[in-house]
Chain A
Amino acid sequence: MTAQLAPWATLHAALALALWAAAAAAQDSPLIEAFPAEDTAPAEAAIAEQVLRDSGSDAAAAPVQTWLLPLRPSVPVLPSNGSAADNAALPGAFRLTGEQSGAEFMLWLPDGASASDLVLAYRSSINVLPERSQLSVSVNGEPAGAFLLTSFAQFTPVTLQSTALRPGLNRVQIDVVHHHRIFCGPEASFAVWTELLLPQSGVTMQAARLGADAAGFLAAASAQVASGAPIEIRADGALDPLLLRNLSARLTAALAATPDFRVVSPWTPQTGAPSKARITVLQGGTGRASIEQGGDGAVVLLLDPAAGVELPLESVLPPLAAAETPQAGAVPALQPGQATPFADLGLGDTTARGHYILHDMNFRLPDDWLILASQEARFTLLYGFADALPSGSLMLVKVNGQTVRLLPLDRNGGRVQPPLEMGFAANLLRPGANRVSFEAILPGDPPDMPCAPLKEETLTILGSSTLWTPPAPAMDLPNMARPLARLTTDGVQGTSAASAATEELLLPFAALYQPPEPRADRAPAVLTVARIDAPGEMPLAALGLTRRMLEEAVAQMPASTEDSAGGPQDSWLHRRWADLVGLALPGDPPLDRWLADRHGIAMLLQPDPEVPQHLWLLLGPGTDPAFVAAALEAGRRAFDGPRGQVSLLGPDGRWTSWADPDRPPRLQEPLRPGNLRFVLGNYASWSPMLFTGVLVLLALISSLVAMSFVVGNRGARK
């Protein structure tokens, strides 16, 4: 009914309006007579005021906006996050310490760049003797200049001319030679340093000359990272985690740093300094990728993903492939039972000059190599040192931080020494990452005067030196270092409650390099990353953990008072008993005691013994995920990285680990007569009391059997 009447109603309305319009038309029109008839009076003169809206500058007064494209360390360092940076006291500063020191830096320049001025902002410690201390620079292998170190309080920029700078990736080597003003010796060597303020060191270019191309993007991204600001990912809607992780990994490799990423909306207002580089992801697009210039001048990697279409990242960012750094590769492996040359372990023929010299050799042993007993490993060391070194000069040989030999350097110098066979306890070595260090210490002569110039190299270690470790039965102790060494970007995940914040948290971990020991034959490792206040479904029971313990250790909540008062655990008897247990059962104390006086900014756990390849990483409130990711990456390549079942990350980027003393070694091969002794030795070393108890029990059983046999078979005494 209504539907039938509606057209009539509309028609009625139209007719009524038309009649009303006709009537109104008969009256005076409300419109203006703009062009009156000739006989009418002229219209009013134009008197209206013109408003001045805004003012700018004339065409000639063009402000030039410049960006500094900074130097970046070639070797990833922990992000400068307050006290976390341990190589310099100032964020963004890179410190070179010692009488001789050097480092390589990367510098991305955009296509078409014709820069020749390289700026270095530096300062040195007040102990540096300026007349004899200098900094030298080479660019892409060509000398670019040198200057004496004369700036002590403030960072001073020095400009060097280099014709070797080229578009794309440049490698800048900076070496310093320091002399102490007053003293000479190893302590004096630690007191001389030079800091480079990287955010103010590099090449200055007009922002307009940073082309919207791959090199321009990397140059801008490098500058963005150096400024300490995160790289923004602009997106309106859901992000493809795999795509972002792929990008994150590529950028980390190119910049030799773990950038902090922040997912923001495309419409977020400007609040701080404008971005220099960012990534923008559109929704439901064409499957294209390109590099554009944003409205704020940022060089933007624009991704327009489409379902079923792979984005052409390789063609858009080809330099990324060439930027893979050596640190991204696997750590050299040592084969047990074979004498392996140092050169194969990354320490070739090495010479150095100074009063404190340190050479580290990092390598990996197989994950299932385990020696806890008293077997001996062996160096065959080929080394030499200068003649007539000061009395008391010596070299410490360290295995995983523990000194195994002191070698005098103050006699028979001036030549390569005869090969030195040098044994040490093999149980100092661990499955996985290890480090052997050679640390030379030369007293000053005299120590209270500036050092005389050293005319020749102080110490030489030949790469043909070898290291031999005994073979061991395939055994292992439950240890998070194993899955951590196999972890790839694909294994990093958030908790089940996925969100943009979760993805932002994960991105820095997606930038993990190739695993130090890729093993396709093992179950893939999984790392679940979460904030401490949202640990998700992490199993706690197996480790005897509680939420409260986690929060106190990582969130730094006030410690629970119920256990802190002097209770039975603090009694003399209790302490003595604990000492006795420690002797009988070597290893870490129970987890609650271990955690009681420790705090960290993040905790890595292997909570479930049934699923050892699944690790959990809990970040404290406010902890920078990029910092933790960098520490994790560094830690899994280092002998002092995370291991055991629980590892706390300190604000200084160092890991402190706890291993469950109740988890015994596991034999991964059949028990045979040939390996019986090694296996028993490992068990005996792991738990002497338990091993002794087992032996006693076996002895008792044997005695009982023997007595039974004797009693049952002896003849009656006549």
Chain B
Amino acid sequence: MTLIRRTFLQGLAGAAALATLPGAAVNAQAAPAASIPADHPLQAAWQAWRSSYIAPEGRVVDSFQQGASHSEGQGYGMALALSFGDGETFRRLYSWTETNLALRPDALLAWRWLPDALPHVADRNNASDGDLFYAWALARAARLFGVPDYAARARAIAADLVASCVVTMPDGSADVMLPAASGFLTGTGFILNPSYWMPRAMRDLAAATDQPALARCADGAERLMSQMAANGLVPDWVEVTADGITLPPARFSANSGYEALRVPLFLVWSRANTHPAVRGFTEAHQAAETGDLRAPTVFERGTGRVLEYSTHAGYRAVSALTACAGAQRAGSAIPPFDTTQPYYPATLHLMTLVAQIEGYPRCVPL
């Protein structure tokens, strides 16, 4: 194996063109409006999501997982709050997260908070997707609300994310983001979760915080996902060794399941609607169509056999948007937003609707 050292400042000179001043808090850009206007009908879905999954103190609750809160959920919630221009909810989420998950010596967040455990945070490891969405939301909020503290916090997280979680592929072909700062390095390589990669968030955050390594991670993510899609559906977890992309250790899912469901969503949200992973996902879902309002959720890696279905509408929403966005059709079979489903599919559902409005106006839910 080769020691790979890449400086995160390579290419920074190019990125500097985005800044008016070197080292600016957050690159000065026109303050963006919320992507969903205050009078948009989807605001009702956001209000339903907010009242169903956010506790009054600002904690996103995943009841399916013992009522836990994750940095990922906090990041998702804050990103969604920004899309809907909901500053009050954004601040509540931010305040709770800073108080309860910002416990590490670096700027990253502890990944999980359990309400019935003491201490509530037993493991101070981070989750890079949670940090990514959290910092992305902060960077956007800094521009939207004009709060410099948000920008500073986003910059610190981005820097530590790069410092702790970005690695380079053995062949030097790409930089990629590890799932966490610790725990995912093996004796022969490292373990990756492709669904932790959100190319748009990476690029936006890179531009906003002068961390071009994150933009390279976005490029690397899309490249690696193309490689994975060439052999079937993108799996939940993979291990990367000097030999390339291989199956992960046994206790990690090698199937394409609930984790990997986010891959096509994040690609489409990143405007990569013709990406091979999106195409493969759409084809697999269309082949597994049952017509009875169940979505295939777990495909066996290799055979493509469906191992599990779910009736939760959020999963159907993802496949409906990817099918429409990939084919550039008019109208999509995105089901109406529904809070009778658990937090995870409901969140994917709402993200899907936001992605549709932001990028695919012709994919209006039928």
Residues of A with Cβ closer than 8 Å to B?
9-10, 13-18, 20-21, 24-25, 29-38, 40, 42-59, 61-65, 206-208, 234, 236, 265-270, 274, 280, 282, 285-286, 288, 292-298, 300, 302, 304
- 10 residue pairs bridging A and B, Cβ less than 8 Å apart: A17-B13, A31-B4, A31-B6, A33-B5, A35-B3, A54-B344, A56-B297, A58-B307, A207-B293, A267-B365
Closest Cβ neighbor of B317 among chain A residues: A295
Which residues of the other chain, B, contact A15 by a CB distance below 8 angstroms?
13
B366–A37 touching, CB < 8 Å? no
Q: What per-residue 1/0 map shows which CB atoms of B305-340 lie under 8 Å from chain A?
A: 111111111001100100000000011111111111
Closest Cβ neighbor of A280 among chain B residues: B366
The residue from B10, B191, B290 contacting A46, defined by CB atoms under 8 A apart: B191
- 218-260 of chain B: CB within 8 A of chain A: 237, 242, 249, 251-253, 257-259
The residue from A14, A38, A206, A282 contacting B292, defined by CB atoms under 8 A apart: A206
Cα–Cα distance between A33 and B316 once the two chains are bound (Å): 40
Q: What per-residue 1/0 map shows which CB atoms of B1-37 lie under 8 Å from chain A?
A: 1111111111011101101111000000000000000
A295–B311 touching, CB < 8 Å? no
A40-B3, A285-B362, A295-B320 given. 4 additional CB < 8 A pairs?
Answer: A34-B178, A49-B123, A266-B364, A286-B330
Cα–Cα distance between A208 and B183 once the two chains are bound (Å): 45
The residue from A20, A57, A282, A293 contacting B330, defined by CB atoms under 8 A apart: A282
The residue from B45, B65, B294 contacting A52, defined by CB atoms under 8 A apart: B65
B168 CB–A CB distance under 8 Å: yes
Which residues of the other chain, A, contact B309 by a CB distance below 8 angstroms?
56-59, 61-62
A268–B336 touching, CB < 8 Å? yes
A295–B316 touching, CB < 8 Å? yes
Which residues of the other chain, B, contact A9 by a CB distance below 8 angstroms?
20
B7–A54 touching, CB < 8 Å? no
A31–B213 touching, CB < 8 Å? yes
Chain A: minimal CB distance from B224 (Å): 14
Among A50, A234, A274, chain B packs the most CB atoms within 10 A around the CB of A50
A295–B162 touching, CB < 8 Å? no
Which residues of the other chain, A, contact B105 by a CB distance below 8 angstroms?
none
Which residues of the other chain, B, contact A10 by a CB distance below 8 angstroms?
16-17
B38 CB–A CB distance under 8 Å: no
B142 CB–A CB distance under 8 Å: no
Cα–Cα distance between A285 and B320 once the two chains are bound (Å): 19
Cα–Cα distance between A31 and B9 once the two chains are bound (Å): 11
A270–B338 touching, CB < 8 Å? yes
Counting residue pairs across A and B whose Cβ atoms lie within 8 Å, the total is 256
Residues of B with Cβ closer than 8 Å to A?
1-10, 12-14, 16-17, 19-22, 40-42, 44-45, 48, 64-65, 70, 123, 125, 159, 162-168, 170, 178-180, 182-187, 189-191, 213, 237, 242, 249, 251-253, 257-259, 290-294, 297-298, 305-313, 316-317, 320, 330-340, 342, 344-345, 353, 357, 362, 364-366
Chain B: minimal CB distance from A627 (Å): 27
Say yes or no: A270-B366 contact (C-beta < 8 A), given A21-B7, A34-B4. Answer: no
The residue from B1, B5, B293 contacting A29, defined by CB atoms under 8 A apart: B5
Say yes or no: A59-B306 contact (C-beta < 8 A), given A208-B290, A270-B336. Answer: yes
Closest Cβ neighbor of A295 among chain B residues: B335
Closest Cβ neighbor of B237 among chain A residues: A50
Cα–Cα distance between A234 and B365 once the two chains are bound (Å): 9
A59–B308 touching, CB < 8 Å? yes
Say yes or no: A62-B294 contact (C-beta < 8 A), given A32-B166, A280-B366, A294-B366. Answer: yes
Say yes or no: A37-B162 contact (C-beta < 8 A), given A48-B125, A294-B335, A295-B365. Answer: no
A46–B183 touching, CB < 8 Å? yes
Cα–Cα distance between A31 and B44 once the two chains are bound (Å): 43
Which residues of the other chain, A, contact B307 by a CB distance below 8 angstroms?
58-59
Which residues of the other chain, A, contact B334 by a CB distance below 8 angstroms?
295
Closest Cβ neighbor of A49 among chain B residues: B123
Which residues of the other chain, B, contact A267 by a CB distance below 8 angstroms?
40-42, 44-45, 336-337, 353, 357, 365
Say yes or no: A58-B336 contact (C-beta < 8 A), given A31-B5, A63-B294, A269-B45. Answer: no
Closest Cβ neighbor of B167 among chain A residues: A34
Which residues of the other chain, B, contact A44 by a CB distance below 8 angstroms?
182-183, 185
Cα–Cα distance between A35 and B190 once the two chains are bound (Å): 9
B183–A47 touching, CB < 8 Å? yes
Chain B: minimal CB distance from A229 (Å): 14
Which residues of the other chain, B, contact A25 by a CB distance below 8 angstroms?
7, 9
B16–A13 touching, CB < 8 Å? yes
Which residues of the other chain, B, contact A29 by a CB distance below 8 angstroms?
5-8
Chain A: minimal CB distance from B39 (Å): 11
The residue from A53, A65, A265, A296 contacting B335, defined by CB atoms under 8 A apart: A296
Chain B: minimal CB distance from A176 (Å): 38
Closest Cβ neighbor of A210 among chain B residues: B291
Say yes or no: A51-B65 contact (C-beta < 8 A), given A32-B166, A56-B310. Answer: yes
Cα–Cα distance between A302 and B2 once the two chains are bound (Å): 57
Cα–Cα distance between A302 and B329 once the two chains are bound (Å): 12
Chain B: minimal CB distance from A522 (Å): 43
Closest Cβ neighbor of B7 among chain A residues: A25
A-B pairs with lowest CB-CB distance, top 5: A295-B335, A265-B41, A30-B163, A56-B310, A48-B183
Closest Cβ neighbor of B1 among chain A residues: A35
B330–A268 touching, CB < 8 Å? no
Cα–Cα distance between A58 and B308 once the two chains are bound (Å): 4
A302–B331 touching, CB < 8 Å? yes
Closest Cβ neighbor of A281 among chain B residues: B364
B184–A48 touching, CB < 8 Å? yes
A35–B2 touching, CB < 8 Å? yes
Chain A: minimal CB distance from B348 (Å): 10
B293–A53 touching, CB < 8 Å? no
Which residues of the other chain, B, contact A207 by a CB distance below 8 angstroms?
291-293
B335–A34 touching, CB < 8 Å? no
Cα–Cα distance between A35 and B167 once the two chains are bound (Å): 9
Cα–Cα distance between A56 and B342 once the two chains are bound (Å): 11
A31–B163 touching, CB < 8 Å? yes
Cα–Cα distance between A50 and B250 once the two chains are bound (Å): 11
Cα–Cα distance between A296 and B337 once the two chains are bound (Å): 10
The residue from B44, B178, B189, B294 contacting A35, defined by CB atoms under 8 A apart: B189
A62–B12 touching, CB < 8 Å? no
The residue from A46, A59, A63, A295 contacting B185, defined by CB atoms under 8 A apart: A46
B366–A302 touching, CB < 8 Å? yes
Closest Cβ neighbor of B240 among chain A residues: A34
A64–B292 touching, CB < 8 Å? yes
Cα–Cα distance between A431 and B183 once the two chains are bound (Å): 91
Closest Cβ neighbor of A209 among chain B residues: B291
Cα–Cα distance between A51 and B190 once the two chains are bound (Å): 18
A46–B249 touching, CB < 8 Å? yes
Closest Cβ neighbor of B258 among chain A residues: A53
Cα–Cα distance between A300 and B21 once the two chains are bound (Å): 54
Which residues of the other chain, A, contact B44 by a CB distance below 8 angstroms?
267-269
The residue from A13, A54, A288 contacting B19, defined by CB atoms under 8 A apart: A13
Which residues of the other chain, B, contact A37 by a CB distance below 8 angstroms?
1-3
Cα–Cα distance between A17 and B210 once the two chains are bound (Å): 10
B292–A62 touching, CB < 8 Å? yes
Say yes or no: A294-B333 contact (C-beta < 8 A), given A13-B16, A17-B16, A58-B309. Answer: yes
Say yes or no: A36-B293 contact (C-beta < 8 A), given A25-B9, A234-B365, A267-B353. Answer: no
Chain A: minimal CB distance from B314 (Å): 9
Closest Cβ neighbor of A298 among chain B residues: B366
Which residues of the other chain, B, contact A57 by a CB distance below 8 angstroms?
294, 308-311
B186–A43 touching, CB < 8 Å? yes
B184–A46 touching, CB < 8 Å? yes
Say yes or no: A54-B3 contact (C-beta < 8 A), given A34-B189, A49-B123, A268-B41. Answer: no
B168–A34 touching, CB < 8 Å? yes
Cα–Cα distance between A302 and B182 once the two chains are bound (Å): 51
The residue from B291, B298, B337, B342 contacting A208, defined by CB atoms under 8 A apart: B291
Say yes or no: A282-B164 contact (C-beta < 8 A), given A36-B1, A269-B48. Answer: no
Which residues of the other chain, B, contact A36 by a CB distance below 8 angstroms?
1, 3
Cα–Cα distance between A18 and B293 once the two chains are bound (Å): 55
A292–B298 touching, CB < 8 Å? no
Closest Cβ neighbor of B293 among chain A residues: A297
